[in-house]
Every structure is written in structure tokens, then in C-alpha cells.
Amino acid sequence: MKKFKIPVILYESEEQAIPYVEVLKEDDMPPTLFIQEYKHTGDFEPDVNGDEQPIVDMVMHMFVDMDFLSKKLNSELYDLVRTSVGLQPVKKAREEGQKILDKVYENVNTNMEEALEGKDQKKADAVERLNQKLTEKFFDGDEEEQSEDKE
């Protein structure tokens, strides 16, 4: 059986609630993690110095990498494991995920089209303003001079 390094579970910050494990290039992520829960009972007992210490129940939990399981189990058994932990079977999850991606792509495309249309309109407006300023500068003044010459 392959030995894995003991992982150190890290957090980027208090706001980043998803932990991560750094794995060196030559190592692999362990397929299972064991985490011990210390559950406070609310009771206390004195330690060797007579100081009150909280009593905790200790429970060992094991977490398994679903990618690892997908490679080791047949599809029916893997789907059974997925549904037993509250996930959808793979086929249904993919279909639902594709629906979400389709909506995202549709929204991105719509936003891009609107942005491009807005950009074209802004260009057209800028060209119009520039033409108007140039017309005012070069032609409106000429008309006044010509009308003065006629008088």
C-alpha cells in the first residue's frame, strides 16, 4: 500500500472558508483524510492542578476523495455513494451542470453583445459630436463672413 505524507490543512484567510492542502510535485494528494472532532460536552473536571478543564468527546471522521472513488468503483456503486452523501448521480449532475453553464454562456454572450452595441453607439455619438464641432468651427463661421460680405 502506498504511503502518503501527512497533509497539513490550511486556509487562505478567515473569509476563505474552503481549506486546501499543499502537495509537492513528487507527492500525491491522500485519497482519505482523517479529522478528529473534539465536541465540548459542557461539563468540566479538575486537572492535576485542580483547575477546571472542559470535557470533550472525541470522534474520528474519515473523508474520502470522490475522484479517487470514481476510479475504483463501478458507475452504479459510485452513484450509490454519491446519492448517499446528498449528491446527484453523475449523469444527472452533468446535465444540471450543463444547464447552468448554458445559462452562464448565454448571459456572457448577451452582455458582450450589449457592450459591443453600446461601444458602437458611443463611437457613432463621438463621431457625430466631432463632425458637429468641425462643422461649427469651419463652416458656421464662414457663413457669417459670407453673409456680412453680401451686405
Q: Which three cell numbers stand for residue 47?
A: 486537572
CB 70 within 8 A of CB 40: no
Number of domains in the chain: 2
8-state DSSP, 7: P
Same domain, 96 and 130: yes
**One domain, residues 60 and 98:** no
DSSP at 11: -
Task: Write down the H helix ranges in 36-86.
Answer: 66-72, 75-84
**pLDDT for residue 146:** 52
What is this structure's pTM? 0.56
Assess whether 50 and 6 both reside in one domain. Answer: yes
Q: Does residue 116 sit in the same domain as residue 59?
A: no
Given pLDDT bands bounded at 50, 70 and 90, which one contains residue 92? very high
Which distant-in-sequence residues (6+ apart) come within 8 Å of 31 by Cβ?
Answer: 4, 64, 65, 68
- 37 in the same domain as 93: no
For residues 54 and 9, state if they share a domain: yes
pLDDT at position 60, please? Answer: 96
pLDDT in tens, 28-82: 999 999 999 999 999 999 999 999 999 999 999 999 999 999 999 999 999 999 9
17: containing domain: 1-64
Residue 138 has pLDDT above 80, yes or no: no
Residues 4 and 54 in one domain: yes
